[in-house]
Amino acid sequence: MLRFEVLTLFPEIFSSFLEESLINRAIEQKHLHVSLVNFRKYGLGKHLQVDDTPYGGGPGMVLRIEPVARTLAEQKEFHRNEGRKTHTILVTPQGQPFTQEKAKQLSRKEAVLTLICGRYEGFDERIRSLVDEEISGGDFICLGGEVIAMTMIEAISRIVPNMLGNPESAEQESFSHSLLEYPQYTRPASFEGMDVPEELMSGNHKKIAEWREEQALLRTKIRRPDLFKHDHTG
């Protein structure tokens, strides 16, 4: 079973996501487990404060280390007692960009994947010393790490066997082989002068496979030359 746990101040954000068809089915069939842990339980004072103003001044509030550190320690102890290892990931714009290759690597981890989601102006720098790696959703800023955590859960879990209705789907889609996916068509064969390529209508599997490979290469070269140059030149 692939296991995730998410440390977040807003677990309710995940409600509809975890009830989505394929994710929910994988959970029900015990291929996937996702637990949500609110680290506000270790907030300070009667108001359970989890943030404070930054030393040196500046805008916004910074997440304190104590609530995160105590929650993380508690979860690690729990999993250790259950005979499970953990791999802790800080979801932050300063991390390494999340890619399909990283999703594959994480899908093979024999450990609970713990995702720590930030909010406000960021984390106390010392929190970084508590994690195994830092991952970013890309070169943009969200209100918090929850949306990126959902993206990671979906991208990682769908690689695992039995997660998809068709096991070939994960291997044929964009980025699976460092290429964008080839063009896809369905009925009708012709619409307002736009026709399905004759190769796909031929019934010749060899010709179809060659056309798809050629189109994937061409599309990647035009739309994502960075991917094309990385693996398909020389």
Q: What average pLDDT does this structure show over 150-168?
A: 82
The pLDDT value given to residue 167 = 58
Residue 229 has pLDDT above 90, yes or no: no
Q: Domain 173-231, what fold?
A: Trp Operon Repressor; Chain A (1.10.1270)
**Residue 43 tokens, joined:** 């907030």
pTM: 0.87
Beginning with the edge strand found earlier in the chain, give each strand of the sheet holding 86-97 in spatial order: 32-37, 2-7, 112-117, 86-97, 133-136
* Helix, strand or coil, per DSSP, at residue 142: coil
Q: What's the CA angle centered on 106, arms 98 and 173, to 5 degrees?
A: 65
Nearest CA to 7 out of 32, 42, 31 is that of 42
C-alpha to C-alpha distance for 36 and 52, rounded to whole angstroms: 24
Nearest CA to 18 out of 8, 7, 32 is that of 32
Nearest CA to 220 out of 184, 178, 185 is that of 178
Amino acid at 168: E
For the chain, residues classed under CATH 3.40.1280.10 are: 2-157
Q: What is the pLDDT of residues 132-153, one digit of tens each?
A: 999 999 999 999 999 999 999 9
98, 100, 101, 107 alpha-carbon torsion, rounded to 10°: 90
* Helix, strand or coil, per DSSP, at residue 49: strand
Q: Domain 2-157, what fold?
A: Alpha/beta knot (3.40.1280)
* Helix, strand or coil, per DSSP, at residue 96: strand
C-alpha to C-alpha distance for 199 and 207, rounded to whole angstroms: 6
pLDDT-wise least confident of 31-35, 105-109, 160-164, 185-189: 160-164
Amino acid at 75: Q
